[in-house]
Every structure is written in C-alpha cells, then in structure tokens.
A and B are shown apart, each in its own frame.
Chain A
Amino acid sequence: MSSTTKTSPVRPGASKAGGEAGRLLARLRLSRGFAWLVLFVIILVTLFPFFWILRTALTTNSSLFTGDQSMLPPEPTLVNFRRVLGLATDEEVRAAGGSGAELRFWLYLRNSVVFSTLVTVGQVTSCAMAAYAFARLKWRGRDAVFYVFLSSLMVPPVFILIPNFILLSDLDLLDTFAGLVAPFIFMTPFMVFFLRQFFLGISSELEEAARLDGAGHVRIFARICVPVMAAPLTTAAILAYVIAWNEFMWPLVAGNDPSVRVLTVGLSVFRSGQPQAAPDWSGLMAATVLGALPVILLFLLMGRRIVDSIQFTGIK
C-alpha cells in the first residue's frame, strides 16, 4: 500500500495523483453535496407526518373543513387535547366538532401501561434465564432444544391466534389482564435469541472466579451475569416495551372490553365508531399524538440505545 492512500483512506478519487486530481475532487464534492440533499429530503419526508399530526391536533375541526392547508394552524387551540383528556365541557366538545364518540383516554392509557409493563418485566426475566441456560450451561441436547425454541420464530402469530383465543376463553380469562398478557409474558423467541447472543459474550473467567468462591448458578446468574448484562438487558426491555405498546391483533380479540382495552385498540375503535359524514380528525389526531407520546419520550431518553440495539440485530 502506498503512503498516499494512507492519508486519504476511503475516498476513491482522492488517491489519484496528477492534474486530474482537482477536477475529480470537485466532482466528488458535487456528488457529496447531492447525496446530502437526498438525505435531507428523506429526513423531511420522515418527519413531515409527525409535524402534520401536531398541526391537525392544534386546529379545530371547523377550520379543517374550510380546507385551509397552511403549514401552521390557523387558530392554534388546545381544545382537542382537552377533549381527549376529558377536560373540556360539553359545549366546547360540540363547538369543536366532536362526534360524541368516546375515547376513554386515561383508562386506555392505564391499560396500555399495565399491559406493556407486565409483559416487559415477565419477558425479560424469563428470557434472560432461558438465555443463561442456553449460553452458559452445558447439558445434553442443549442446541437441539434451542433450535426447537428458535423454530417458533417461524410461526405466524395468526396461526396460533385462534387456539390461544379458545384456550383463554375456556379458562375464562378473556377481557382480563391475565389473559391479555399470557401469550407474551413468558417468552418471545426473538428475545431468547437476542439475549443468548449477549450471554455468549460474557467472559468465562469471571464465571470461573465466582465458581471457585463457591457461588452456585443462581448466584452467578443474579450477581455476575445480570450486572454485567445491565446494558443489553435495558435494551431488551426497551424493545419489549415498544413492541408490547404497539401490539394490536391479540388485544383486539382478547381484550376488547373497555376495562382492559389498550390504546391501540381504543384508537381503532374510536375511528370505526365515527359517523360517515364528518370524521373528527382533529380529535383523532390529538389522541394519536398522546398515544405516540410515551414511545417518543422513551426514544428521546434512550435514542442511542435503541439505534445501537437495532444495529446489533443487523450484525448478529
């Protein structure tokens, strides 16, 4: 390798010597500028819908129906948020063009929080234990059992939806939180796989040292592996939470009763309860903003970790 390439590592044109170099460099800069432009447009397209939900949520239905498409809300108002949160008076609701269809936001929000929290805690705990058994313990038939577990990745959720529905119906657990979380709380194949990859990476010296000190497996798992794995376990928990928060099909069939109805189902029911004539777009968008808010907050706090974990999935 020549010394010129060492100073200009990746850029192809830059390594060329001679009179051509200047022209090449200019062309390169031009194409980089163009690439930045494309990236900028993609980011704009990605973000615009978020801006537009917010814009709609801050507008009253009556001014939506005048067809005003200005980028900023013509007469910004918080009435839609107050309507969704149940803080507005009946008069305000009617004036804002509310349809009277009820979105019991606080109740559905609570249900979503309960559902997602239970699922996350259960899933991460039991999958971490399983991952430990698959990665750190030596036993007969380990790999075979692991592949059987992994094969459940191939089962489409709709295939097991009906039998699970029947099972929980027989157990009289439909429309209860227990029934809602049951199919998710013990494991997902992805989580076992994801955590096993991390457990494989723990150095065995640490484990040996602990064993010499007379620690049993439960102690090694709880006192050594879990602290060492704090970062990946947090990542796994965030992913589990987001996925649970977004879950729709199972809660739609197993938890349609308002007492356990989660936000995603609530939003879809709210939508289909609309009269044909005048959908309550601004109310719906306000609810949508509030429904996406927890995930967005989580993202603002943990963005880097989420990005890293997705990239990790790509490498392994």
Chain B
Amino acid sequence: MRERWQRLRQHQGAVASLFLLPAGFGFAIFYLWPSLRALYMSFTDYSLLRGEGELVGLQNYEDMIADPLFWQSMRVTGLYVLINIVVQTILALLIAVMMDRLTRSVIIRGILVLPWLIPQVVVGLLWLWMLDPRLGVVNHLLNVVGIGSQGFLGSPDQVVPSLAGINTWRFVGYTALLLFAGLQMIPKHLYESAALDGAGEIRMFFRVTLPLLRPVLALVLVLSVVGSFQVFDLVQVATGGIGGQPGGPADSSLVIYVYIFRQAFNFNNAGYAAAMSAVLAVLLALVTVLIMRGLRGSRSDLA
C-alpha cells in the first residue's frame, strides 16, 4: 500500500513538472533571472548604451542617499500614495456600504468599475484635456460656480493632488466592488442582533462591519498602496504639459517610477536605476508585511 502511494506520488511529480513546464519557464526566465540580474546590476555602473558595466560596490546606493531628486521623488510618491489611500479607501467604503444597503444592481456596479477598464494612458489624456487651464470643462464649471480657474496638472502645488484625484476616479469603483464582495460575507444575523441591542447605523458600522471586513480591507489596502507606489502611465502621459517632460512642472510630479525610467532610458544610468528599483522592491515588501500584520489580514474573525 505504502509503496503504491509512493509510486503514485512520484508519478504525479513527473506529471506536475510537465504541467509546470511553460509557466515555470516564464517564471525562471522573466521573473527570477531578471530579479537576480537587477540586484547584481545595482552594484555596477551598467549603461544601456555601452551594454556593459563594472562592479562599483555600494556606489549607486551612496549616490542615492546624496541625490536630492531621489528624495524629491520619494516625497512626491509618498504624498501621492497618502492622498490616494485616505480618499480612495474612505470613499470606496462609503460606496460599498451604500450599495450593500440600497441595491443589488449589476448595472450600477458595472458603471462604477468602468473607469478601471480604460487604459491608464487614455485616462491620462482624458483628464489632461478636462483639466486644461484655458479650455478644460472643469475650470469652466469652477468659473460658473465662482471658484475660479485652477492650475491643476500645470501647477507645482496642485499637480500631485490632481493626479491622486484622477487615480481615485479610476480606481474607487474597483475598490468599492472588492469591499462590497467582503460585505456580502458578513452574516446578516449579526446586524439583527446588534439592532436588537439598540445599536444605530453608525455604531453597527464600527462594531460589526469594519472588524469583520478586516481581511478584505487589508487586501484592498495592499493593492492600492502597492499600486499607487508604482504609478507610471498616468504621470508619463498627463504631466509636463503637451510636449513637455513627464514629471513636471519642475519635477513636482516626479514619482519614483518616472525617475527610475528617466535614469535608465534617458540618462543611461541603468545601474543607478536598478539600485533605486531594488530599494523600491524592499520598501513595497515591507509595506505589504506591515499592513498584513497590522490588520491581521490573513485571519478572519468569521472563521
């Protein structure tokens, strides 16, 4: 019996390796190997133009600490992530709870998720036009209600909040849908007993909904933090004005991805770019672990 089981396992192992062949190949060649290579490159002065690089030790990492633009890009990215998370999570929670109470309509859910399906490049172009200082419809509406024109993407102070706003427009429905799915998992009888205890709508939200939504909330937070750290398409297309340098005006929207890209492909410092992306990778892993730990995201109170 035991022997047969072992044979079966060996046999299944052989079958498994066959089934894993294509995906395993892709994983090894396009994920694992480049990750190791990027790590190595971060200790070299590799240039795409020369196609080679010498080991330079920790030079790139030292340069990074001394590079004001690196810190600028971290600040910009941090601000962008922060605005995104706060606004998007609160708004998405609100929408999810409202949908849970008001309607099961697939059409409404579909409409809310529509912006998520549109390419980020298209979203960027669309808002670049809508927020145009002279001809954009948003400034027109602001003038009508008496607030007056704003600089938005062209203003160093407003460009990051504007980008975060655009991203919120794109993602909030998607996030709300994830949270909505989580809400469906909460047994209705919990609300009934809370209501019997005389709890109001708001207390129920904080005592029942929020705690039981924790695992989904953790997932949503990880997705949106990690996602917004990696913003690229939107900034590349929507900033710097028509024909301008992405990351503008005056580097005020220079998010880390754009800066890495610029160093690698415009300034030919692939080694330096690799070092920055290594730091980013570690940072993202840390943030993920922190959120999952902080919210005990992998455990559910329902289980």
Chain A residues close to B by CB (< 8 Å): 1-2, 5, 9-12, 15, 31-32, 35-36, 38-39, 42-43, 45-47, 49-50, 52-53, 56, 64-65, 67, 69, 122, 125-127, 129-130, 132-133, 137-140, 142, 145, 149, 152, 154-167, 169, 182-183, 185-187, 189, 192, 217, 221, 242, 245-246, 248-249, 252-253, 263-265, 267-268, 271-276, 279, 281, 284-285, 288, 291-292, 295-296, 298-299, 303-304, 306-307, 310-315
Which candidate, B74-82, B102-110, B151-159, is the interface stretch facing chain A?
B102-110
Asked if B19 contacts A137 (CB within 8 A), the reply is: yes
- Please indicate which of the listed interface residues A53, A298, A314 has the most CB atoms of chain B within 10 Å of its own CB: A314
- Closest CB in chain A relative to B233 CB, distance in Å: 4
A159-B280, A160-B35, A163-B41 given; A42·B112 CB < 8 A = yes
The residue in chain A whose Cβ has the minimal distance to the Cβ of B185 is A315
Asked if A159 contacts B35 (CB within 8 A), the reply is: yes
A-B contact count (CB 8 A): 311
Asked if A167 contacts B34 (CB within 8 A), the reply is: yes
Which candidate, B9-17, B54-62, B64-72, is the interface stretch facing chain A?
B9-17
Bound CA–CA A52/B109 (angstroms): 21
Contacting residue for A159 out of B27, B101, B193, B277, CB 8 A = B277
Asked if A12 contacts B178 (CB within 8 A), the reply is: no
Q: Which residues of B contact A155 (CB under 8 A)?
A: 31, 35, 281
A-B contact pairs, 16 of them (CB 8 A): A10-B101, A45-B169, A47-B111, A125-B22, A159-B38, A159-B277, A166-B48, A246-B119, A249-B232, A264-B233, A276-B242, A288-B122, A307-B109, A310-B177, A311-B178, A313-B181
- The 6 A-B residue pairs with the shortest CB-CB distance, nearest first, are A186-B26, A163-B34, A314-B178, A314-B181, A126-B22, A311-B181
The residue in chain A whose Cβ has the minimal distance to the Cβ of B245 is A272
Check B118 for interface membership: any CB of A closer than 8 A: yes
A49-B169, A125-B22, A187-B27 given; A5·B119 CB < 8 A = no
A42-B95, A185-B26 given; A284·B125 CB < 8 A = yes
- Closest CB in chain B relative to A109 CB, distance in Å: 13
The residue in chain B whose Cβ has the minimal distance to the Cβ of A183 is B30
Q: Which residues of A contact B284 (CB under 8 A)?
A: 154, 156
Bound CA–CA A311/B185 (angstroms): 11
- Closest CB in chain B relative to A261 CB, distance in Å: 12
Interface string of B12-54 (1 = CB under 8 A from A): 1101110111111111011111110110010000001001000
Asked if B126 contacts A53 (CB within 8 A), the reply is: yes
Report B176-223 residues with CB < 8 Å from chain A CB. 177-182, 184-185, 188-189, 191-196, 199-201, 204, 216, 219-220
- Closest CB in chain B relative to A84 CB, distance in Å: 13
Check B260 for interface membership: any CB of A closer than 8 A: yes
Asked if A39 contacts B230 (CB within 8 A), the reply is: no
Q: Which residues of B contact A158 (CB under 8 A)?
A: 230, 232, 257, 260-261, 277, 280
Contacting residue for A304 out of B110, B199, B261, B265, CB 8 A = B110
Q: Which residues of B contact A265 (CB under 8 A)?
A: 121
Q: Which residues of B contact A52 (CB under 8 A)?
A: 126, 130, 137
What 15 new A-B contacts, CB under 8 Å, besides A15-B196, A132-B19, A169-B51? A12-B200, A12-B201, A31-B201, A39-B95, A125-B22, A133-B15, A158-B261, A167-B34, A186-B26, A249-B232, A273-B243, A281-B129, A284-B129, A292-B118, A311-B177
